[in-house]
Structure 1
Amino acid sequence: MADPVQQNEADGDEGIEMTEPEKILKERKISWAKLRRIDSLNLEAGRVSNVRGHSAKVDWGTTLNLAFQSIGVVYGDIGTSPLYVFSSTFTKGIKNNDDILGVLSLIIYTIVLLPIAKYVFVVLLANDNGDGGTFALYSLICRYAKVSLIPNQQPEDRELSNYRLDTPSNQLKRAQKIKEKLENSKEAQVLLFIVTILATSMVIGDGVLTPCISVLSAVSGIKQSATSLNQDAIVGISVAILILIFSVQRFGTDKIGYSFAPIIFLWFSFISGIGLYNLFKYDVGVLRAFNPKYMIDYFKRNGKQGWISLGGVVLCITGTEAMFADLGHFSVRAVQISFSGIVFPALLCAYSGQAAYLTKFPDHVLETFYSSIPHTLYWPTFVVAVAAAIIASQAMISGAFAIISQSLSLGCFPRVKVVHTSAKYEGQVYIPEVNYMLMIACVIVTIAFKTTEQIGNAYGIAVVAVMVITTFMVSLIMLVIWKTSIWWIAMFFVVFGTVEIIYLSSVLYKFTQGGFLPLAFALFLMMVMGIWHYVHKERYMFELRNKVSSNFIRDLAMNPHIGRVPGIGLLYSELVQGIPPIFPHFIANIPSIHSVLVFVSIKSIPISKVAMEERFLFRQVEPRDYRMFRCVVRHGYKDVIEEPEQFERQLVEHLKEFVRHEYFFLEGGPNEQKTAPPPEAVSLIDSSLLAKDGKVGGSGLSTVHIEESLQQQNTPCISSGSIHAVTVARSTNSSSRIISGPIQGAEDEIQFIQKAMDNGVVYLLGETEVVAEQKSSSLLKKIVVNYAYNFLRRNFRQGEKIMSIPRGRLLRVGMTYEI
């Protein structure tokens, strides 16, 4: 049976020709009856645009070019593993030459099974619109199931062009049941979040360990020619190189990125050529290691010691996670081609050549790589090895920056300054505070451990732990999203999970020999991220429970003592579903409002990017002639927050389009009865409908600034602050109050908004101090909220610095939330 609203609209449209925009608006108008059932900011948002994503097909020339570029960005870490794998495996020397074949067989099949079978052909496909990493997996799961701990999901988010998902049929009950269990289980949601931040913490820990082990192992080769240098001198040189690496981070990897791929390609050429030379010169028979029988014999001979040695073998796949984490710079096909066609053959040649050399010189196992280099190629190889180690370090440091940047949008990392250093690569970011913390940690680790053996023990735990978590999350994606056959899922989980658990048990055995380091890093970072996210979530829930009622706004509109000052006020809040409780506090302390007031919420969406034409969602706050709007600005975790001037222009242009479209609804469209739609349907328009780029006039606004002092009052939930000094450049008395009177039409409103824009934009920011409720809070909660969280908040960046708000146009009011 036809919807009566739809039927009436259709009957009224017979014989009338409409323009394309009018048709679009007409199609949206017919769903008013359905919209009234749901309470959300804007339920008809997100007209799909033709946004080219990572899934778009590209020609083979572009793919091959990306494949070559990926060599320099992705494979520096796994490419430098031949520097230390054999020495880390045979820490006590080689007792039986057949053990060399056993370890080579383990290396071969570890690379085939994990990087090739698991990552290249399965995990890379579990990307989030082309972006990889643990955070991308978590975001992908959050898009299909409501498992995010912060309840700010909106129905219109699913209409974003990058949000849309090519899913199989929903007829499979298994996926639906698992999804329902995830959405209804708080424990499962918390576990998923903990697993995610554990993996991200481990990858950040890699940003410390990779530079240490790569640079130290590369520099150690100088002892082959400069025998007078002792280990302390090697450590000193390594520390100097590490400080240099972190010192140039502020310039961005894009400045020197053009040389990355050729250097790493040259490195792979060197190690494969040297490997083939050693293979044919010393013992081509080591290729028998392709027979897995030698693995079995190795474990039979060595027993427990063979299991312990797996902690060294696993270092042959360090950097495998980088294939997935750095996927956003390239494409799935490009990474598959580069690894299968260049990296994998080069590594096989390198390890086979070293094994052949060791069959003749088993006593050289501690310096396997440099000892096996032909004399004439020693210095060129040494120079390229150091360069490759620096690039491997650079890639992991940049990866740590990118992960922290993504964690910020999840609300689980303290505010830090994120500098986007590259116009070419979106993921290339620089975080000054984190950079210096990583540098200090790297220097301390290098000086404390001195050799690659103990650092290798620590490194292995970080590598394998992330792999285990990736296996778990990809299996969940197979169940809920891909709806794969249960037999394929079981095979994936059992085969790869078993292998990784065996490796993890081996590296954990060396916990006291350096293995504790990544776990200590991860524990510290998880505590920081967990505390920040917990209080962030509780603060959001507090604002949601105490949001401003519509009656307050109506009373405010009728209050003759509230002045209106020229200009546009942007009141920032994280609340998506309403007006935050900080607003009445502003009015209580400063009884005036700008002629146009917009409640702005910067919302992070669990996708990588949001198209500009889909970014702004508006809704008008009643009464209409008060000119107050709510706006949600949606950003993906790789979107850049614009500079204030650019952001103001974009917001005002989209606001004017919103007003124009809204008036079209209010007027009922062409040749229709002039009946207004229900109040619930008014303003349910997305500014992305016909969004246009345009320029808006400047500001010319005088200083507006408040310094506040918080004084807690005897209120159960909210404590207000007292203002010490207020400087407002414009008169706020009743004679200057701007009252628009009856609304004349869309163009009048647009001109009014433009005039307000010309008068300037003021940023209104609430400085909320969060404390634990005195009576009902436990001692642990008081410690976490009152001390740990507030310590982090005071010692990291404040909100206006993150958004680069001009201090001369900032107005702040303090408030205390008791949670």
Structure 2
Amino acid sequence: MAENGNVVDQSINIGDSSDHFSKPLNGKKLSWQKLRRNDSLEIESRKFPGRQLHGSKAVSWSVILQLAFQSIGIVYGDIGTSPLYVYASTFTDGIRHNDDILGVLSLILYTITLIPLIKYVLIVLRANDNGDGGTFALYSLVCRYAKVGLIPSQQAEDRDVSNFELELPSKRLRRATKLKSKLENSQFAKLFLLFATMLGTSMVIGDGVLTPCISVLSAVGGIQQATTKMTDNMIVWISAAILICLFMVQRFGTDKVGYSFAPIICVWFTMIGGIGVYNFVKYDPEVVKALNPKHIIDYFRRNKDKAWISLGGVVLAITGTEALFADVGHFTVRSIQISMCTVTYPALLCAYTGQAAFLRKHNDLVPHTFYKSIPDPLYWPMFVVAVLASIIASQAMISGTFSIIQQSLSLGCFPRVKIVHTSTKYEGQVYIPEINYLLMIACVAVTLGFRNTTNIGNAYGIAVVFVMTLTSAFLVLIMLMIWKTNILYVIAYVLTIGVVELVYLSSVLYKFEQGGYLPLAFAAVLMTIMFVWNDVYRRKYYYELENKISPDKLKEIVAEANFSRLPGLAMFYSELVQGIPPIFKHYVANVPALHSVLIFVSIKSLPIGKVPVEERFLFRKVEPMELNVFRCVARYGYTDVRNDRHEPFERMLIEKLKEFIRDDYWLKKAILNNGETTSDQEIDDGQIDENTNTKQEDLEDVDNQIDMIDRVWRAGVVHLIGENDVVAGEGANVGKRILIDYAFNFLKRNLRQSEKVFDIPQKRMLKVGMTYEL
């Protein structure tokens, strides 16, 4: 909609327009549906035709099977190496009663079945956001169905974007609508959702730090079973060296790393599953009785509070489960489901059952269960594979960390970092150099500082269960508001999976002082960074919104007698969607000249994974026509590539601008030919004869405008980047001054600059500085 009567709504749905307007304008028929304008700069499209909201990527079965193979190496290394330390972490004080082994085995079997298999593989993966997973994917789903985002880039017309009005009235629909309304009208709910999202993201990153430490230390420590010459100090330094090597290969990308790792993890699963079956048959086949959950009750009766504390060790059997969801953007839902059900789940059941059978005959060997249960001829091969598998185990959460940081960055919740898309074959595979090296430093520091797996395991459990609990909370919200699930199923989910996770959370928090504080410390640091960036980001947006330049003011500026026009085209970048940013007034006050064509380019992130290229740009022409001033919103999803060298941003924008000029002409003709009909109404015949009432001079004028765009483009393009320094305004309190003047500006000075986002050539870039007092 126009900001006032002087600006004509010129935004359009330009999907497939290149096919229709690549031919001469004369002598063709255009469908009214092709000319309809479904979007405007202030009514943003939240769902694009032909895209599934909750489905997996539409790929062939051959690709799915390839990705399923890759996912074994990337996703399951963490949960696959848990047998290295689960029993040792659970029975920290030794085995008091032989039947306790059956109780713990029963806990492990049902926990693996309930959470990784049922919760994540069968339920949570359905909550992916167009194929992308993780905490921010869940948050983006909620934002897309309810107006809970804190950046006011949505308008009042967006209130019905969740398609509720298309459904028949029902109790579930009324419940979902009521919940949606409460969320939209509660500032506390909006802040709490963002806080929970940041907390979950921070915990996953903390998980990405702790996974490599405990996995590598556990595996390398196995060599002490073969030789006493290997000291604890040597094991720690060897582990640190291995971790450094692991992070150094991340730049090659998930695709190459996955194909390298997958065969090793396949061998690992084959060996632990085979050894498990061997131990089960050799030592005590009666451990199959653990399938009876009565043994869990008996275990708690015998051990009481000690059984509850031991749950912190049992939960390590499902470490890395969040990677199933966080890494789905690197693969597909179907590929992860296939690999989990056919390889990972059966192998883990066999491994834990075999170790339990071994322990029933060797209670005293619980601290070294994994290596002691290996048949002697297989010890060294298993040791080598265990070390390799532990290295690979780290890959799951590292890849997941990259994915969720990319999402949080696009939604304005993380400082600018470099996003490298490492695969042209598979979407969603990314690498972030800065984060990679920070993770490496943190992992080495934790390994050298803690030096053993006991305290790291305590920290690890808190990170794992916290993320799972937050995921469940978001999932319940999605069930109620988006899926409109039957309330009985929601209650069943909460009473089973939700209660189990809360019990595990209470257990791991008991070990807060014994290393459990570490992931919370990581989360506190990360959330501080995210809060500082997001808070000032929102303050800047509100400042620009309140001080934007009206179209009338723009005409006054251009109409001034001393104002001149320069040959060429200028693109003025900002994040403001609803108008012209105040920094433009600052620019013309100091440089009283404008280029022949001026395009205000607003960069907007939608809470959706990807925006199709044909839907990327929305244009509006600022009146009067002779100004040659356009406004454009470039819309991106949180997994879109913004500096794609194969599709230069500048060329793509100019081509879409020329299409817009053609489309605009035919839309006006369509409106004239249909009287009072607007673009929101359906036309029965659906066709407009271009030759009807067409004046040749009008067509020539359109061609002249397009030729003019080509001429000024060839004359040269200048990219004007608004660089706003921010300071706390007069009278600001101490907290606000620390937040803006010190914390935010420190982050801004030490991170990537905005021109890197679109790979703008330095020779054609001009920065315009202005200070905002917030």
Q: TM-score w.r.t. structure 1 length?
A: 0.85
2:764 matches 1:816: no
Q: Map of 1:185-584 to 2, 5 A cutoff? A: 185-584=186-585
- Given residue 755 of structure 1, which amino acid in structure 2 is its aligned partner? R
Aligned mates of 2:499, 2:566 — CA distance in 1: 67
In the other structure, the counterpart of 1:6 is none
Which one of the candidate residues 758, 772, 797 is aligned to 2:714? 758
Q: 1:808 to 1:65 in 2, by over 3 A?
A: closer
1:766–1:812 contact (8 Å) kept in structure 2:
yes
Q: Map of 1:11-26 to 2, 5 A cutoff? A: 21-24=30-33
2:741 matches 1:781: no
1:22–1:669 contact (8 Å) kept in structure 2:
no
2:751 matches 1:796: yes
Deviation at 1:804, TM superposition (A): 2.2
Aligned mates of 1:792, 1:581 — CA distance in 2: 24
In the other structure, the counterpart of 1:632 is 633
2:72–2:262 contact (8 Å) kept in structure 1:
yes
Aligned mates of 2:115, 2:46 — CA distance in 1: 40
- Given residue 710 of structure 2, which amino acid in structure 1 is its aligned partner? Q
2:331–2:426 contact (8 Å) kept in structure 1:
no
Q: Map of 1:125-136 to 2, 5 A cutoff? A: 125-136=126-137
Deviation at 1:50, TM superposition (A): 4.5
Aligned mates of 2:641, 2:246 — CA distance in 1: 25
Aligned mates of 1:216, 1:56 — CA distance in 2: 37
Deviation at 1:167, TM superposition (A): 8.3
Deviation at 1:22, TM superposition (A): 4.2
- Given residue 302 of structure 1, which amino acid in structure 2 is its aligned partner? N
Secondary structure of 2:633's aligned partner:
strand
Aligned mates of 1:546, 1:453 — CA distance in 2: 56
After alignment, is 427-436 or 77-86 more displaced?
427-436
Secondary structure of 2:423's aligned partner:
coil
Q: 1:668 to 1:287 in 2, by over 3 A?
A: closer
2:651 matches 1:649: yes
- Given residue 427 of structure 1, which amino acid in structure 2 is its aligned partner? G
Which one of the candidate residues 662, 665, 679 is aligned to 1:663? 665
Secondary structure of 2:768's aligned partner:
strand
Deviation at 1:170, TM superposition (A): 5.4
Segments of 5+ residues of structure 1 without an aligned counterpart are 1-16, 683-741
Q: 1:57 to 1:565 in 2, by over 3 A?
A: closer
Aligned mates of 1:159, 1:178 — CA distance in 2: 14
- Given residue 748 of structure 1, which amino acid in structure 2 is its aligned partner? N
Q: 1:298 to 1:676 in 2, by over 3 A?
A: closer
2:42–2:153 contact (8 Å) kept in structure 1:
no
Deviation at 1:557, TM superposition (A): 2.8
Aligned mates of 1:20, 1:461 — CA distance in 2: 64
In the other structure, the counterpart of 2:702 is 746
Deviation at 1:18, TM superposition (A): 9.6
- Given residue 586 of structure 1, which amino acid in structure 2 is its aligned partner? Y
In the other structure, the counterpart of 2:118 is 117
2:276–2:352 contact (8 Å) kept in structure 1:
yes
Deviation at 1:253, TM superposition (A): 2.8
Deviation at 1:289, TM superposition (A): 0.9
1:665–1:677 contact (8 Å) kept in structure 2:
no
Aligned mates of 2:424, 2:408 — CA distance in 1: 21
Deviation at 1:408, TM superposition (A): 0.6
- Given residue 23 of structure 1, which amino acid in structure 2 is its aligned partner? W
Secondary structure of 1:462's aligned partner:
helix
In the other structure, the counterpart of 2:727 is 771
- Given residue 30 of structure 2, which amino acid in structure 1 is its aligned partner? P
Compare relative contact order (CA 8 Å, sep 6+) and give the higher one, 1 or 2: 2
2:621 matches 1:620: yes
Q: 1:49 to 1:179 in 2, by over 3 A?
A: closer
Q: 1:792 to 1:167 in 2, by over 3 A?
A: farther
1:46–1:159 contact (8 Å) kept in structure 2:
no
- Given residue 800 of structure 1, which amino acid in structure 2 is its aligned partner? E
In the other structure, the counterpart of 1:106 is 107
Q: Map of 1:711-750 to 2, 5 A cutoff? A: 745-750=701-706
Q: Map of 1:136-155 to 2, 5 A cutoff? A: 136-153=137-154
After alignment, is 544-553 or 184-193 more displaced?
544-553
- Given residue 746 of structure 1, which amino acid in structure 2 is its aligned partner? V
1:209–1:442 contact (8 Å) kept in structure 2:
yes
Q: 1:58 to 1:550 in 2, by over 3 A?
A: closer
Deviation at 1:76, TM superposition (A): 1.0
Deviation at 1:65, TM superposition (A): 4.1
Describe the superposition over 1:332-378 as per-residue Cα deviations: whole angstroms up to 9, x where unpaired: 33322322222111101000111111112222211111111111111
1:170–1:176 contact (8 Å) kept in structure 2:
no
Aligned mates of 2:612, 2:703 — CA distance in 1: 27
Secondary structure of 1:427's aligned partner:
coil
Q: 1:137 to 1:48 in 2, by over 3 A?
A: closer
After alignment, is 490-499 or 56-65 more displaced?
56-65
In the other structure, the counterpart of 1:807 is 762
Secondary structure of 1:597's aligned partner:
strand
Deviation at 1:420, TM superposition (A): 1.6
Deviation at 1:329, TM superposition (A): 3.1
- Given residue 793 of structure 1, which amino acid in structure 2 is its aligned partner? K
Aligned mates of 1:653, 1:756 — CA distance in 2: 13
Segments of 5+ residues of structure 2 without an aligned counterpart are 1-25, 681-697
Deviation at 1:49, TM superposition (A): 5.0
After alignment, is 148-157 or 347-356 more displaced?
148-157
2:42–2:577 contact (8 Å) kept in structure 1:
no
2:215–2:391 contact (8 Å) kept in structure 1:
yes
1:267–1:385 contact (8 Å) kept in structure 2:
yes
Q: 1:565 to 1:493 in 2, by over 3 A?
A: same
Aligned mates of 1:561, 1:743 — CA distance in 2: 34
RMSD: 2.7
Q: 1:47 to 1:203 in 2, by over 3 A?
A: closer
Aligned mates of 2:462, 2:165 — CA distance in 1: 36
Q: How many residues get paired?
A: 729
Describe the superposition over 1:141-187 as per-residue Cα deviations: whole angstroms up to 9, x where unpaired: 10110000111125898999xx9899864542111111100000000
After alignment, is 659-668 or 808-817 more displaced?
659-668
Deviation at 1:554, TM superposition (A): 1.3
Aligned mates of 2:69, 2:541 — CA distance in 1: 45
Deviation at 1:400, TM superposition (A): 0.9
Deviation at 1:21, TM superposition (A): 2.7
Q: 1:436 to 1:167 in 2, by over 3 A?
A: farther
Aligned mates of 1:74, 1:502 — CA distance in 2: 26
Describe the superposition over 1:106-162 as per-residue Cα deviations: whole angstroms up to 9, x where unpaired: 1011111111221122111111112211111100010110000111125898999xx
Q: 1:224 to 1:56 in 2, by over 3 A?
A: closer
Q: 1:109 to 1:668 in 2, by over 3 A?
A: closer
Secondary structure of 1:21's aligned partner:
strand
Describe the superposition over 1:225-254 as per-residue Cα deviations: whole angstroms up to 9, x where unpaired: 232101110001000001111122222232
Secondary structure of 1:774's aligned partner:
coil
Describe the superposition over 1:33-74 as per-residue Cα deviations: whole angstroms up to 9, x where unpaired: xx9xxxx52659799554588546666555444433322221
Secondary structure of 2:602's aligned partner:
strand
In the other structure, the counterpart of 2:7 is none
After alignment, is 501-510 or 50-59 more displaced?
50-59
- Given residue 774 of structure 1, which amino acid in structure 2 is its aligned partner? E
Aligned mates of 1:578, 1:755 — CA distance in 2: 27
